[in-house]
Amino acid sequence: MRQLTLTLLLVSTLFSCKKDENDTPNNNNTAPTPYVCPTCVTTPEAKAEHDAGSGGVYKGVIVGSSGTIALYLYNTGTEVKALVSFDGKNATFTTQSLSSWSPGQAITNALFTGVIDGVNMSAYFSVDANGQNPKVQMTIPGHTVTVAVYKETSTSLIKNYEGTFTGDDAGTFNMTLNGNDYSIVVSSGGILEGTLVNGAIDHLTQKDQVEVKGTFSGDDVSGTWKDTKSTKQGTWTGKRTL
């Protein structure tokens, strides 16, 4: 009788384990966790008192190879600097051009200089007195450089993405995002400017007939590109780095 009881207990345990295994959820279908930039800020750094003036914060992307730039002009105290990242190396650029400048005045070709990996680099910055039409022109020996930059405000965080495009052509594909407005810079030197459509990129340039589509997932962005004048097409991806 004792042997029969032990046998029934063993059989019951085996069936119970089998049922538990079958009831375990299939984690293979779990959606991956969206990428989040570990070093990027999640709220604007710009102070409200500079929202309508030339002071404050400006951020953008560099192509030729790839990088980012962030300028801080009296955003906190009287600090004036540009933080530049290029090909994975970082440096703080300084300027003597703004010694007599004050927020609310226009800036024309203020020269910022710095050294990255032993190479002297320069950036010229211009902006209207009200903070509109910011422009950065960079000189990096051995590179043809294009920069797209936006003014950050206390209510609009600038996000910058670095990536590549592949397919029938390949190269660098960087983007700076200001609310719903974006500027895409590619290694050919062109800049595509547009506005998000329902939170996604749906862009067709009338001049060059290049169609670009893309969606965001966390701090990732990816999509497709197509030259409507030929059969060339491919994909592109980017990750937020600033």
11 in a domain, yes or no? Answer: no
43 in a domain, yes or no? Answer: no
pTM (two decimals):
0.87
162 in a domain, yes or no? Answer: yes
Mean pLDDT of the chain: 90
Instruction: Give pLDDT, residue 119.
Output: 95
89 in a domain, yes or no? Answer: yes
- Please name the helix (run of DSSP H) or strand (run of DSSP E) that holds residue 8, with its range, or none: helix 2-23
Mean pLDDT of 132-154: 97
Which domain does 138 fall in, by range? 50-240
What residues are paired with 228 via a beta bridge?
Answer: none
Angle at 95 between CA 94 and CA 97, to 5 degrees: 170
203 in a domain, yes or no? Answer: yes
Domain count, the chain: 1
Counting residues of the chain whose pLDDT is more than 70, the rounded percentage is 88
Q: Report yes or no: 220 and 98 within 8 Å, Cβ to Cβ.
A: no
Q: Report yes or no: 110 and 125 within 8 Å, Cβ to Cβ.
A: yes
Instruction: Give pLDDT, residue 11.
Output: 37
Q: What number of H helices and E strands is found in the chain?
A: 1, 16
Counting residues of the chain whose pLDDT is more than 90, the rounded percentage is 82
What residues are paired with 70 via a beta bridge?
Answer: 59, 83
Chain CA centroid to CA 180, Å: 13
C-alpha 140/C-alpha 84 separation (Å) is 12
Instruction: Give pLDDT, residue 206.
Output: 74
161 in a domain, yes or no? Answer: yes
- Please name the helix (run of DSSP H) or strand (run of DSSP E) that holds residue 237, with its range, or none: strand 233-240
pLDDT digits (tens, 9 = 90+) for 47-104: 999 999 999 999 999 999 999 999 999 999 999 999 999 999 999 999 999 999 999 9
134 in a domain, yes or no? Answer: yes
165 SS3 class: strand
